[in-house]
Amino acid sequence: MKQEVKSYGKVNLALNVIRKKTNNYHEIDTIMVPYKKIWDTLSFEIHKSGNTKINLENKIKNQHISIEQEDNLVYKAIELLRKKTNFKEGITVHITKEIPLGSGMGGGSSNAGETLLFLNEQLNLNLSIETLSDLGLKLGSDVPYFLCRGAARVTGQGEKVTPLSFENFFNIDVFLNPDYQSSTKKIFNHLDLSKTIHPKIDDVEKALLANNYTELLSSMFNSLETVLFILFPELQKRYFHLHKNKKYDLFFITGSGSSFVGITISK
């Protein structure tokens, strides 16, 4: 029996990169919200025994995907769970990809997070969210966030996830650039912390909790924006061209790019 799960991407409303840690990862402070206008679909089949098999269907225009099964985050998530719990079931997953790779929306991390949650429930593994988060962090810094399935403030290396609850007083639309795959590792390697803007995430959170749209707009920024446009000047031209669209009050990038986000107040 096949069971389908929607795997939504995320948008960083603001992102501050604080410092580089001794393990070469970066300490961040960010607020993420789910973006439910586009999603990947994970179709699971659980067998009484067997191995893990991943089938990948690409529905992304202008982007070719070539990933070995063992490099897929869904495969890695399943095998981490298998090693942790010694479950014997065979797992087949058909992944329909619609969130572009390198888009800054965390598509792969979302896939991994949903896989951890789904199998933990379906196989009665009874692992806590804390344990799943520890496993998720081994797969990627965004994976722990996707375990909360909602808005959250994320700090540390990505492992500290604090859910946020606020009225949805704004709308966001994502503009994809699938012909530009932004490498998170490359962006961070070129980041000069002394030359970027460091938004105050406390101010963003206060604006969200107070439903203050004006303050929200004035406090939003992404520390990775400058380096993204240095590495991809043609992408910056698209970004500036997008500003001609007066429907939106502000444009910003999500994650390490390459997607742009437009924001408007809810009517």
* Calpha distance 194→196 (Å, rounded): 6
Those residues whose C-beta lies under 8 Å from the C-beta of residue 260, and which sit 6 or more positions away, are 174, 175, 177, 238, 239, 242, 251, 252, 253, 254
Radius of gyration over every alpha carbon of the chain, rounded to an integer in angstroms: 19
Scan for tokens 């009665």, then name that residue: 124
Cα-based torsion angle of the residue sequence 158, 100, 35, 32 in order, rounded to the nearest 10 degrees: 20
With vertex at residue 197, the alpha carbon angle to CA 193 and CA 201, rounded to the nearest 5 degrees, is 105
In this structure, are residues 77 and 139 in contact, taking their beta carbons and an 8 Å threshold?
yes
Query: Tokens 């437009």 — which residue?
Result: 262
Q: Does residue 224 contact residue 230 with C-beta atoms inside 8 Å?
A: no
Q: Kindly give, in sequence order, each residue whose CB lies less than 8 Å from that of residue 114, ignoring residues fewer than 6 positions away.
A: 5, 6, 7, 42, 146
**Hey, which residues are catalytic here?**
10, 142
N-terminal to C-terminal alpha carbon distance within the chain:
43
DSSP secondary structure letters along 12-53: EEEEEEEEE-TTS-EEEEEEEEEEEEEEEEEEEEEESS--EE
Looking at residue 87, the DSSP 8-state letter turns out to be: -
